[in-house]
Amino acid sequence: MQVMDDQDPLKKDPQKPKIKIIRFGAKNKTVVITSILLILFLLFLLIFGLFFFVQVGIFKLVGVEYTSWSAAIGFLAMFFMFKIAIKIGVFAFKIFSFGLFRNSMANGNPSAKLIGSFTKGLLQPSKSTRFLFALFRIVVDIYVVHMIDEWMPEVNLSNLSEVLLVLVVFLLGQLFSIKRRGVFWIRK
């Protein structure tokens, strides 16, 4: 490792400090890269070990039984596919109701006030409306998990594990949307 003075054109300025550049040799670069890769590998191994042993213990605790890992992964894949389909359906419902409101206002329909308040609640919901939507999503997701559990004989979930799965997925979704919407149901 050698330290060299930088060739600064303003080197004559006494108030400006000298900049020193450290240049690593091939041996030092190899040591640094190897140690970083070793730390990353140990971190990955720790995460995998915690995931495997904690998950197996939690599965036994809440009553999840499965015949193979592929069945458990297939169960989760089906759950998320149904969840995406439900989100698309809710989004289509919002668009349809908003279009209904605009057509009613253009035609001078007297019930446009009622439809307008309904679509305003869908597009800019209050705290209570967001809470009811969240509760509705949780109930629908519990129903979906229960139906998938009935369809797949390879995976058996207790009622507690169905509810816990839905709540964990819901809370993770809320935590990942904090940047976009503020904390949980509170908008910025």
Q: Which residues fall within 8 angstroms of residue 133, CB to CB, at 6 or more apart?
A: 125
3-state secondary structure (DSSP) of residue 5: strand
Question: Residue 121 — very low, low, confident or very high, per pLDDT cuts 50/70/90?
Answer: low
The pLDDT, as a whole number, for residue 150 is 92
Strands 65-66 and 155-156: antiparallel
Indicate the pTM of the whole model: 0.54
What pLDDT score was predicted for residue 94?
72
Q: Please state the domain extents for the chain.
A: 2-60, 67-181
**Calpha distance 170→132 (Å, rounded):** 14
The residue behind tokens 């997701």 is: 141
pLDDT tens digits, 34-79? 999 999 999 988 888 777 766 666 677 777 888 887 888 888 889 8
Q: Is 186 a residue whose pLDDT tops 50?
A: no
73-99 confidence digits (pLDDT tens) = 888 889 889 989 988 887 887 777 666
Amino acid letter, 156? N
Query: For 26-40, 55-69, 144-158, 171-185, which range has the lowest pLDDT when averaged over its residues?
Result: 171-185
Q: What is the DSSP letter of 18?
A: P
Q: According to the per-residue pLDDT averaged within each range, which of 115-119, 125-129, 156-160 is highest?
A: 156-160
pLDDT over 80 at 151, yes or no: yes
Rounded-to-integer distance, Cα 106 and Cα 100, Å: 10
* Position with higher pLDDT, 151 vs 186: 151
Q: b/e map of 10-30 (b: 16 or more CB within 10 Å)? A: eeeeeeeeeeeeeeeeeeeee
89: helix, coil or strand? helix
